[in-house]
Chain A
């Protein structure tokens, strides 16, 4: 008769800490954590003693002191009497504004360039390839400084626009002036404006809020229209025409609002030695915007090209063989699949653009880094606090965008076994 015996229980030996897989991982992790904590503590102690030696303390109180410097471009009210905190806000808004504009332009250029690169037209495809390779292999700082130099050195001075035989003229029916101090474009004016609301930190134009509200409502209406069309199509098989109705829904309400508020353009005019009226976009902003967009568009073009190439020819062939028109085949079969491939690197590129706005100091655009990490830091001497805040803000923006991208990725993931 055999009895099943329990395996002998080995007693615990210290050597098991390293060799036994049960304990090994815990051992390694504990040692690792101890090392990290010790290292962190050592850094912390160094910082404390260095600060003490320099006679500084660690506080953020400087944010409420008077800044004492001017910012040449701002989206909200600011003067040299405002606090450093407000300068921080102005800088951050400038950063976000520039990033937003650059993302839009880069996407447009990138989409066009990417699609054209795949064109059968050899001339166009080669031209786009040259564009992408040239701009990608040169640092973006060079492009930014170059565009700025072009504008600052080669563009005419305002006074050259005047006189009987001006050496420079305005563009687009005398509405846009390109000078060496910047570009002057017409500004939107409302003769029957709705006024402003005070949001505490800054004033918001009610006109802007109304426009945003109408645009959002139009988009909602447009989507409703298409949803109704799909319902009708599901029921009867025939899809009602949505092109003109859709156009009307998007355009008419906005036009009505603009008419009601007395929308008109204020043109820049040459008075004295300078232009008055209109919106003055300085060289720094235009240079950053153009250079950043054209540079980043090369990466977007490559993503678009990869996305379209990733969809095998067989998909188009199957759709065509079923009788779908090429346009329908692209819309229903190729595009949804291509978007899955294109969108993630596109969002990474947006993140990259946002971080690249910090190069604005090269041309004097007052973004977050130029204010908080530049003049504020130099004036108050609060290097540690400013840097920590600066990195913290950029890190937060990055993490938010990454989280959004992850949400998007998981929601559209193709289901597989």
Chain B
């Protein structure tokens, strides 16, 4: 007979689950030993962990930090721990770590790259984290010029004049666009270019002769190691994002010629390995420029790396744009926003938010790719490692050097990917 009516008199309090269901024993049984396959995997994992720890642990423990050569290291290890034991010879790191970090930068001027790094972190603050006061953004804008001056040296007036060029473009835009919008935009582009090409250098030299302020000037051949990688990486990252956005917009546009050009550009640069582009930068760029012009090699590399990364960035952003519902474009149109305003205020913020994992992935890839400059004889960390290994004193050493370089790369890249996750999480809670 079906029960038709029932009322509970007193609510039940929650009980503890039966003993076999909780606790460490249950967890181990359920997660690690739930089936034969699982048991096999657990045994295998434990074995792998054991092997790794058993080989690496003692090797690290028996490490030598002061020695003049590999031979000496081995001697010290044999004396302290017995014949035949292997140990880490970190003495090579102790001796060469500055070279790996700074390349051939003069030792007494190390304060300049270090200061630049600290200032870079400050400049990145307002961009990466929202709790940093926004006034620092003004500093972030001028940071490229400051960094350039600190690293390469020379007269302080040159970067100042470059910044003046930007300011003049901005001023021209403001003044002239009150008269005519299009003319304003054109002059904003034209005035700085004219300034940079013709007046910038003479103005800098003029002021320099009156008021000489400057730092010791250094050539690009003194850049090396992680200093070089960071300079190329950060410059590439900074400039490839806006360029990538422009390319993505161009590829999406209705203007057939612009679209075809962007497609050809993107596919062309994505289809070739970066190393070939670096070869072009070092060997062939001179062919494409008027006879007699030479370019700083680092600048050439930065240009190529930027263009290469921008092509990949364009594809990532294109994915983000595609994920946007049509309704957003239509709403922007309905509000009367012109193309550039709509992009700046509505479309791009959303597209970029969606593309963050792809964008940061690109940045990480770019930073790792900076090691390729060793193939065009720039002294990146890998090149320096080869040079150290070729040295007679350290012939035959490799693990310690690779661990050091690998660890530094790992720290950089891992931090970037964790930041990307942090950003994603933060933005996810923002608008839901």
Contacts and interface: CB of A to CB of B under 8 A. Distances in A.
Instruction: Answer yes or no: A and B touching, Cβ < 8 Å.
Output: yes
Contacts of B106: none
B256 A383 contact: no
B398 A146 contact: yes
A123 B276 contact: no
B256 A29 contact: yes
B62 interface: no
B340 interface: no
B287 A46 contact: yes
B284 A373 contact: no
A120 B410 contact: no
Contacts of A36: 261
Contacts of B402: 142, 145-146, 149
Interface string A9-42: 0000000001000000100110011001000000
Interface string B384-407: 011000000000101000100110
A398 B270 contact: yes
Interface in A130-161: 133-134, 136-142, 145-146, 149-150, 153
Contact of A149 (B364, B375, B398): B398
Interface in B242-301: 254-258, 261, 267-268, 270-276, 279-280, 283-284, 286-291
Nearest to B315: A348
Interface in B56-112: none
A96 to B, nearest CB: 14
Contact of B275 (A32, A127, A149, A359): A359
Given A120-B38, A121-B45, A140-B368, A399 B271 contact: yes
A295 B399 CA distance: 18
Interface stretch (A247-255, A307-315, A389-397): A389-397
B382 A141 contact: yes
Contact of A398 (B272, B280, B283, B412): B272
A324 to B, nearest CB: 20
A131 to B, nearest CB: 10
A387 B271 contact: no
Given A46-B287, A50-B286, A355-B273, A122 B410 contact: no
A29 B267 CA distance: 20
A355 B272 contact: yes
A142 B370 CA distance: 12
A171 interface: no
B414 A141 contact: no
A121 B46 CA distance: 12
B371 interface: yes
B48 A127 contact: yes
20 contacts: A29-B258, A46-B290, A120-B34, A127-B49, A137-B413, A138-B368, A141-B372, A146-B398, A149-B398, A153-B398, A358-B273, A361-B375, A383-B284, A391-B272, A394-B272, A395-B272, A398-B272, A399-B271, A402-B267, A402-B271
Interface of B: 30-32, 34, 38, 41-42, 44-46, 48-49, 182, 254-258, 261, 267-268, 270-276, 279-280, 283-284, 286-291, 364, 368-369, 371-372, 374-375, 382, 385-386, 396, 398, 402, 405-406, 409-410, 412-414, 417
